[in-house]
């Protein structure tokens, strides 16, 4: 005998309730796991082969200087920077000819261990006007400075920054913030009147790490703020190249 309409409705409501309960339990379990892991999802290799480990605590102290390094440190040549991060390694080629003072600063800070266990604290994505992952903050709060500022160098004539470009970040009221650097994950053009940035080089390997972080987006869906997946720089080594 066919099931009565009222009985079918009760069954549908029962199944819907069970589904909602199961979904709620799954969400609760996920939140608990994330909390136990310090606020980050469990690390697992992504489709792009990138996986991340939990970042270390920021250092309690970092080197500071009384003056910017002399441009002669860069020796007007190219340099190789080997960047180890909690999500994989990157390699930069730095242009000491076009950005001698900026590259001299980068080389000096790397040799001093300024970026050891430092945080990549900022990711800009759509609809922000820029598109980069910003790293090099040993304070963990974007308040650290090495003790000097730098003038702008090697700014693109067309004000366009391209995927894989490495540049120096800028602080409010400063021409160039020497301590923090960024890697571009999507081409963008700076509009007239907006701040431009010094270019110091290009990524030669490991760009997939930056694309992976950018693809996961910003914390709380922000287009300019901490990345959803935390990433820190473990160390930076440099040598002439």
Which of 50, 95, 51, 52 has its CA nearest to residue 76? 95
Full-prediction pTM beyond 0.85?
A: no
Sheet of strand 118-119: strand arrangement: 118-119, 232-240, 78-85, 88-95, 199-205, 165-168, 181-184, 132-135, 122-124, 224-225
Q: Alpha-carbon distance 196 to 81, whole Å? A: 23
Average pLDDT of the chain to the nearest whole number: 84
Q: Are 131 and 184 in contact (CB under 8 A)?
A: yes
Going from N- to C-terminal start, the domains of the chain cover 1-36, 71-240
For residue 9, count other CB atoms closer than 10 A to its CB: 10
**Residue 43 pLDDT level (bands cut at 50, 70, 90):** very low
Token couple for 124: 């800009």
Q: Per-residue pLDDT tens for 173-208?
A: 555 567 999 999 999 999 998 899 999 999 999 999
- Whether residue 99 contacts residue 199, with contact meaning beta carbons closer than 8 Å, is answered with yes
What is the CATH number assigned to the segment(s) 71-240? 2.40.100.10
Supply the pLDDT for residue 44.
52
C-alpha radius of gyration, the chain, whole number: 23
Q: Is the pLDDT of residue 14 over 60?
A: no
Q: How far apart are CA 241 and CA 8, in angstroms?
A: 74
Q: At which residue do the structure tokens 């709380």 appear?
A: 220
Q: Please tell me the distance from the alpha carbon of residue 172 to that of residue 130, in angstroms, as a whole number.
A: 16
Give the pLDDT confidence score for residue 41 in this predicted structure.
43
Q: Is the pLDDT reported for residue 229 higher than 70? A: yes
**Residue 36 clears pLDDT 60, i.e. is over it:** no
> Distance (Å, rounded) from C-alpha 111 to C-alpha 193?
35
pLDDT digits (tens, 9 = 90+) for 64-100: 999 999 999 998 899 999 999 999 999 999 999 999 9
Specify the DSSP class assigned to residue 221: G
């Amino acid at each position: 005998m066919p099931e009565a309409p009222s009985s079918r409705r009760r069954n549908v409501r029962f199944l819907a309730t069970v589904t909602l309960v199961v979904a709620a339990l799954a969400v609760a379990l996920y939140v608990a796991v994330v909390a136990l892991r310090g606020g980050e999802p469990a690390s697992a290799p992504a489709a792009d082969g990138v996986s991340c480990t939990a970042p270390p605590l920021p250092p309690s102290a970092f080197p500071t200087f009384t003056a910017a390094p002399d441009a002669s440190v860069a020796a007007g040549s190219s340099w190789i920077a080997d960047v180890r991060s909690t999500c994989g390694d990157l390699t930069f080629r730095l242009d000491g000819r076009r950005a001698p003072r900026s590259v001299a600063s980068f080389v000096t800070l790397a040799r001093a261990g300024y970026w050891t266990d430092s945080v990549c604290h900022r990711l800009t994505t759509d609809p922000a006007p820029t598109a980069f992952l910003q790293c090099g903050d040993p304070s963990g709060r974007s308040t650290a400075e090495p003790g000097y500022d730098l003038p702008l160098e090697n700014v693109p004539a067309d004000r366009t920054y391209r995927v894989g470009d490495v540049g120096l970040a800028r602080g409010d009221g400063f021409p160039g913030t020497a301590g923090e650097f960024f890697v571009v994950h999507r081409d963008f053009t700076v509009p007239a009147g907006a701040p431009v940035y010094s270019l110091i080089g290009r990524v030669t390997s490991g760009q997939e790490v930056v694309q992976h972080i950018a693809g996961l987006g910003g914390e709380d869906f922000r287009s300019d703020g901490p990345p959803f997946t935390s990433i820190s720089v473990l160390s930076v080594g440099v040598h002439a190249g």
